Structure 1
Amino acid sequence: MTATYEVRGQVAVITLSNPPVNGLGLATRQAVAAGIEQAEDDAAIKALLITGAGGAFSGGADIKEFGSPKALAEPNLLSLIGLVEACSKPVVAAIHSVCMGGGLELALGCHYRIAAVGTKVALPEVKLGLLPGAGGTQRLPRALGVEPALNMIVSGEPVNSELLAQVPGQKLFDRMATGDLMEDALALANEVAELRPLPRVRDLKARCANPDAFFQFARNMVGAQSRNFPAPLRCLEAVAASVSMKFEDGIKAERAGFAALMVTPESGALRHAFFAERATTKIADVPGDTPTRKIAKVAVIGAGTMGAGISMNFLNAGLPVVMLETRQEALDRGVATIRKSYEAQLKKGKLKQDKLDARMALLSSTLNYADIADADLVIEAVFEELSVKQAVFKQLDEVMKPGAILASNTSTLDLNAIARFTKRPQDVIGMHFFSPAQVMKLLEVVRGAATAKDVLATVMALAKKIRKTAVVSGVCDGFIGNRMIEQYSRQAGFLLDEGCSPAQVDRAAEKFGFAMGPFRMGDLAGNDIGWAIRKRRYQEKPNLRYSKSADLLCELGRFGQKTQAGWYDYQAGKRDALPSSVVAEMLDKHRAALGIKPRQISDDEIVHRLVYALVNEAAHLLEEGIAQRASDVDMVYLTGYGFPLWRGGPMCYAGQIGLFNVVQAMKRFAKNPLDDAEFWQPAPLLARLVAEGKNFS
């Protein structure tokens, strides 16, 4: 059942009932339309009331139908809203909890609206690279006022109903519920049952004192803030139409804008990311109803930068945390780091003193493993060396209670080997946080060969509680993100050998949209980390080629920002990356020693070598079953590695370019004698998809 119909006195109550957020799918629209027609035909009915069951009025379009023919099938949302608006009897919307997208557009088509306090109200279509397509850009400015409506539509952010009710002159809500919403809504419906003419939002005038000046100012502001996203400016122009055009003409302008945005690569990328994020929670052999273990207390081993950041995630979620270290001074530094971070938020007004005090009260510290024995989850965040991990996990195996989850924050090491250090490998899992751990959204959840399904289900649920995007990875060196970034970094090194400067490579990557180019990223993370990995590679994979430039850099002690010298020079207390004459001279000598004459390299070649290296390695990961799906790879790179959101992730971008074209470029790169021809052989999955004319999706 997608909508119910009942009679309460002289009022027909239509209740949207399509869990979880009463999405306005085809069946729901049909049921609402049938309810309106039934009420119209019943002479005893004097008014109608539309509300939503459960925890929402309506969240808008049914995402299960997004992009399918059902989304546009009649009655489509525009037609349904037209039916509501044309009803001969007053229709009241009783809004509560969530009223977003098409749900808000439906409410705006009703003759009256009553809202519960705390209702989240939004037109979030811009977050999918679109604009509201069922009259939202025309009705909301008329009901709320042009400026507040524009702010809501361009940002897509939800606003509480009680704040909107305070907007001077607003006609969005006729009344705020003071008691039980349904009782108040029924009272309103009975009150207006005989009132005529019926008020329609479309008949109101969009209020704006000086529209020409206002919209020009708004264009300048929105254009500067949305450089890579076409939707915000399109939203603005649609709102401007509500002022300059008649309602019907404004609706036509809105539909034209919606249709134009729907085919943009940016909207395609944003919609891909929207669905990709939801897909990460689906694990083929772990049903959604898999029982989970109770997590009431967390222990963190290591109080360094990573350990402190990891701890903050759980403190923020209201979970007690005990931090363990081997030395008191290290423990004191870790606690001070957490307090300092919270105090910085306090100064910026992002955190209140009572919240700070509550979070710090949940934190305890110890030097004794016995003090963490009752924790339900323990996360190891110590030095990235297998022997160090071994010592920690052997101790954890001795002291932790039965059923406790033992997690490692390792970023590259063999989780199966770590699990074998214990007598309970089924309880061992990888929880790879990204630095700064309290900020970065990504959590790579590494599933070992013996990891129990309930352990995996528990960690995935916990990730949601601490507001992380969790992506499951199998066990391999570097898992998904770092295994791919190694190939990206290798290409960056070859580009230096062939004639690029670090600044040129970084500029090209950042112009493409990366938050940071590979060399600025190396300086931030610490070049010594990559050096340690390469030293291991030279032993394990002696045939794998690397540029020696990064080793030469580290031999000079230039480890990055922490030494104020890396690929760039840095000044004390500043993070500005300044070109280094030392590095330029080092690279000149290195090329001369190799007998390489520098060549001019285009930004396109730089970007495609970097990005297609990610794509080809990801195809290997999919073939091996390390990553579940291509969209999981995209979520890793969107949330953990600064890949531009408007490009949707490396796999989405490759699909938009065309896999055939990607492979043709790889074949050209393979002919470069200074590159790695073997690496540029297409992964079997990639070659197969091209042969079949298919895409990663």
Structure 2
Amino acid sequence: MTTINPATTLDVEGEIAVLTLDNPPVNALSHILREGVAAGLEAAAADPAVKAIVLICAGRTFIAGADIKEFGKPIAAPTLQDLQDRIEALDKPVIAALHGTALGGGLELALACHYRIASPSAKVGLPEIKLGIIPGAGGTQRLPRLVGLPRALDMILTGTPVGAASAVTLGIVDELAAGDLRAEALRFANAIVTEGRPLRRIRDEAQRLDGENVDAALEGARERHGRKMRGYESFERAMDAVANAARLPFDEGLAREREIFVELLGGTQSKAQRYVFGATRAVAKIADIPADTPTRKIGRVGIIGAGTMGGGIAMKFLSAGIPVTIIEQAQEALDRGTGTIAKNYAASVRRGRIRAEDAEKANALLTPSLEFDDLADCDLIIEAAFEEMAVKKEIFARLDAIARDGAILASNTSYLDIDEIASVTKRPADVLGMHFFSPANIMKLLEVVRGRETAKDVIATAMKIGRDIGKTAVLVGVCHGFVGNRMLSARQREANKLILEGAMPWDVDRVLTDFGLPMGPFQMADLAGLDLGWNRETSKGETIRERLCEADRRGQKTSAGFYDYDENRKGSPSAMVEEIILIKSREEGFERRAIGDDEILERLVYPMINEGAKILDEGIAQRASDIDVVWINGYGWPVYRGGPMFTADTIGPDVILDKMREFEARFGEDFAPAPMLERIAREGGSFTGAA
């Protein structure tokens, strides 16, 4: 065995050279690896005894992509394209042996090889779209030559990898390994040499594209993926690049692909998406809680409340294989809740999202009960009851009496003070918030709320269990609304003012959806139900929302709220709502005026950013990027805008400060700038250091 460099070794077995790459943890295609591949190929090519070369990786995966740290910097030679050119120029077959994940540049390198063999568990894909770019080393040109335009478009536009068996069916991989990958790759290579198989260069194969209707393929891709990819610059650019595989000679298509890649890489959207990639991984790092902090074993979870939220939370644990005891006060409510869980699993089976046997296993792990004492053996108990402090405190006092020592007691509260809830127990160190977002079985975000006395191992356990059930867990501190809802309140305050001053709900919502959010504040209110927290007996018609509820316009569930809804729950502007708003404006003494889209957007977004600055100053969030992860995963902030704090850096903190001061002079102290915003603007700094 010859050591080429610290990441590469070369071993010759008979007539086959085995080039082994080892660049932990994921064999990223960094400079040291590229150097090793180039030198190894040169050595193997120069050895007359070598008839074929196997490219294989040590560790848990094949090359899982480029080194993201090199993005935006000059790439030292040899580049990935240099390696591909060398492979395609060789007169000896090169076989890529794939295991784990062959992603991005890893798959592109494998596609430049003459043959590919893979472990049955391997996955291959081109996920660059998730970073706001397109494949930049021939992926948009070679993949369509193997699988055709429609399938290549699907893989590249979604970034979703395919399993090895599917890759064989599609023609991406030539063989599945029947046993040890190295031994199987040697067998395969020897067979290629013995049988004198040709050197297959994908770049020279265009027959799969012959007769392809390019326009039809593009239109089909827009229909399948356009709605989800609305606003992403990389979407249309990726389609253009893939279409070039059929429209242009290979080298011209490759050159155009590279141009598009470089343009997107330098754009704000790709910077935002790469920032979010790093930010999502950073949330697990907590300054005063080491990564090796012991966690508590969670063998059974108790959930108080079988309503929409409690049932959704239960499903996440059941799907992860964790037994759940769910309790309600009345049999009817319990039956309704467990019935909804069963229906949700059945629907997932019908849609092909899970197997029937997995649904059966999950349902079998659920224990419904009307007895509070049945929570005594649970390791984690999550309260998902009515959002009222007196209710929460009563429940936690009861839990304190029956929960076993060491059990973690969590509240799913959206706003309320965790420290006050913990104060009714003799174990405040075991109490914290676990704020799930609705629908809890779908939404990614989990705000883990750290109380004043919450133990570090309790926090570490909550963060870990959040990840275990597929959530993006973000640690936040105690304040009204924590991070997400506190900032949302600032936005809602301005939305309510705007419709009194001159805008209509559909104007406000349109501006935010044009910005990239899935819905605006009034659409969101209708979806949630306008009567949340409203009581007919105590309603005084003091707000537009109260007046709508009094008119039985309580949102989508009554087919009327801020909007009128048809049988498909599609909303349209309401003349009745417009009249209610005009009447309320007159009563409040407003002289209505035309309000432009720019002002609407600034008045909705800038106060959120300002509130985020206060949250950082108060230590409620660890870092600005945590705030952005909350808003992306909990509220649908567009990934390509990076989150509110990244957006602030993109606009410029000084620009936002000037506008906040202008609004403060016009509209009052709600726009008073946060000290941190003033400080960062004065110093020419940024919130995230990434924009």
Shared fold per TM-score greater than 0.5: yes
1:459 pairs, out of 447, 457, 462, with 462
Distance verdict in 2 for CA 1:517–1:289, change over 3 Å: same
Match of 1:28 in 2: 33
Equivalent residue, structure 2, for 1:618: 612
The Cα RMSD (Å) is 2.4
Q: Deviations over 1:437-461 (max 9, x none)?
A: 1111111111112222222222212
- In the alignment, residue 102 of structure 1 is paired with which amino acid? G
Q: Distance in 1 between matches of 2:598 and 2:494?
A: 14
Q: Give the counterpart of 2:300 among 297, 300, 312.
A: 297
Q: Residue type matched to 2:66 in 1? A: A
Give the counterpart letter for 2:67 in structure 1. D
CA distance in 1, matches of 2:430, 2:161: 40
8 A contact 1:117–1:162 mirrored in 2: yes
Q: Is the 8 A contact 2:31 2:78 kept in 1?
A: yes
Q: Does 1:67 align with 2:58?
A: no
Q: Which amino acid aligns with 2:105?
A: G
Farther off after superposition, 87-96 or 346-355: 346-355
The residue aligned with 1:538 is: none
8 A contact 2:101–2:124 mirrored in 1: yes
Alignment of 1:136-175 (within 5 A): 136-167=139-170, 170=171, 172-175=172-175
TM superposition score normalised by structure 2: 0.92
| Aligned amino acid, residue 427 of structure 1 | D
- Tell me, in whole angstroms, the C-alpha distance in 2 between the residues paired with 1:448 and 1:643: 27
The answer on whether the counterparts of 1:309 and 1:436 sit within 8 Å (CA) in structure 2 is yes
- Give the partner amino acid of 2:64: G
- Residue among 556, 561, 570 paired with 1:561: 556
Mark the CA change 1:585 to 1:146 in structure 2 (over 3 Å): closer, same or farther: closer
Q: Is the 8 A contact 1:376 1:405 kept in 2?
A: yes
Residue equivalent to 2:315 = 312
Q: Deviations over 1:346-401 (max 9, x none)?
A: 33343433222221111111122322211111101011111111111112112222
Residues 1:685 and 2:684 aligned together: no
CA distance 1:340–1:109, change in 2 (3 Å): same
Determine whether 1:238 maps to 2:233.
Answer: no
Residues 222, 232 of structure 1: 8 Å contact kept: no
Q: Percent identity?
A: 49
Per mean C-alpha deviation after superposition, the further-off stretch among 319-328 and 192-201 is: 192-201
Show the counterpart of 1:101: 104
2:85 is aligned with 1:82: yes
| Paired position in structure 2 for 1:185 | 185
SS at match of 1:51: strand
Measured at CA, do residues 529 and 45 of structure 1 come closer, stay the same or move farther in structure 2, by a change above 3 Å?
same
Bigger Cα displacement from structure 2, 326-335 vs 469-478: 326-335
Match of 1:606 in 2: 600
TM-fit CA distance, 1:551 = 4.6
In 2, the alpha carbon distance for the partners of 1:256 and 1:517 equals: 36
**Contact map agreement 1:238 1:250 (CA 8 A) in 2:** yes
One-letter amino acid of the structure 2 residue matched with residue 492 of structure 1: A
Cα separation, partners in 2 of 1:585 and 1:388, compared to 1, 3 Å: same
Stretches of 4+ aligned residues off by more than 6 angstroms: none
Alignment of 1:273-422 (within 5 A): 273-422=276-425
Q: Mark the runs of 5 or more structure 1 residues left unpaired by the alignment.
A: 536-546
Counterpart code for 1:593: E
Q: Judging changes above 3 Å, is the alpha-carbon distance between structure 1 residues 274 and 530 closer, same or farther for their aligned structure 2 residues?
A: farther
Q: Is residue 128 from structure 1 mapped to residue 104 from structure 2 by the alignment?
A: no
CA distance in 2, matches of 1:610, 1:555: 27
Aligned equivalents of 1:550 and 1:148: distance in 2?
48
Q: Within 5 Å, give how 1:668-683 maps onto structure 2.
A: 668-672=662-666, 675=667, 677-683=668-674
Letter in 2 for 1:190: N
- The one-letter code of the counterpart of 1:219 is L
CA change 1:236–1:504 in 2 (3 A) is closer
The answer as to whether partners of 2:126 and 2:161 remain within 8 angstroms in 1 is yes
Aligned residue pairs total: 674
Q: Does 2:217 correspond to 1:218?
A: yes
Displacement of 1:548 in angstroms is 4.2
Match of 1:52 in 2: 57
Which residue among 484, 503, 507 is the counterpart of 1:504? 507
What are the superposed Cα offsets for residues 529-577 of structure 1, whole Å, 9 maximum, x if unpaired? Answer: 4769xx9xxxxxxxxxxx9444554565644334554323446x65333
| Aligned mates of 2:207, 2:27 — CA distance in 1 | 30
**Distance in 2 separating the partners of 1:397 and 1:636:** 31
Structure 2 SS opposite 1:277: helix
Q: What TM-score do the two structures reach when normalised by structure 1?
A: 0.91
Amino acid at match of 1:239: V
For residues 108 and 169 of structure 2, what CA distance do their matches in structure 1 show? 20
Deviations 1:145-185 (Å, cap 9, x if unpaired)?
A: 44433332233211122123223xx3x33322223222110
Report what 2:3 is aligned to: none
Cα gap change, 1:6/1:290 in structure 2, threshold over 3 Å: closer, same or farther?
farther
Query: In the TM superposition, what is the alpha-carbon distance from 1:274 to its structure 2 partner?
Result: 1.9
Asked if 2 retains the 8 angstrom alpha-carbon contact of 1:286 and 1:457, the reply is yes
Label 1:519 to 1:243 Cα distance change in 2 as closer, same or farther (>3 A).
closer
| Range moving further from structure 2, 427-436 or 499-508 | 499-508
Q: Secondary structure at the match of 1:378?
A: strand
The answer to whether the 8 Å contact 1:112/1:174 transfers is: yes
What do residues 206-246 of structure 1 show as CA deviations (whole Å, max 9, x unaligned)? Answer: 522334xx221233344561442222322222223333333
How far has the Cα of 1:629 moved from its partner? 1.6
1:38-84 Cα distance to aligned partner (Å, 9 max, x none): 33344444332111223211211123x142537x2222222222233
Give the whole-Å Cα distance in 2 for the aligned partners of 1:127 and 1:504: 31
Equivalent pair of 1:60/1:102 in contact (CA under 8 Å): yes
Measure, in 1, the Cα distance between the counterparts of 2:547 and 2:569. Answer: 23
Letter of the structure 2 residue corresponding to residue 591 of structure 1:
S
How far did 1:313 drift? 0.7
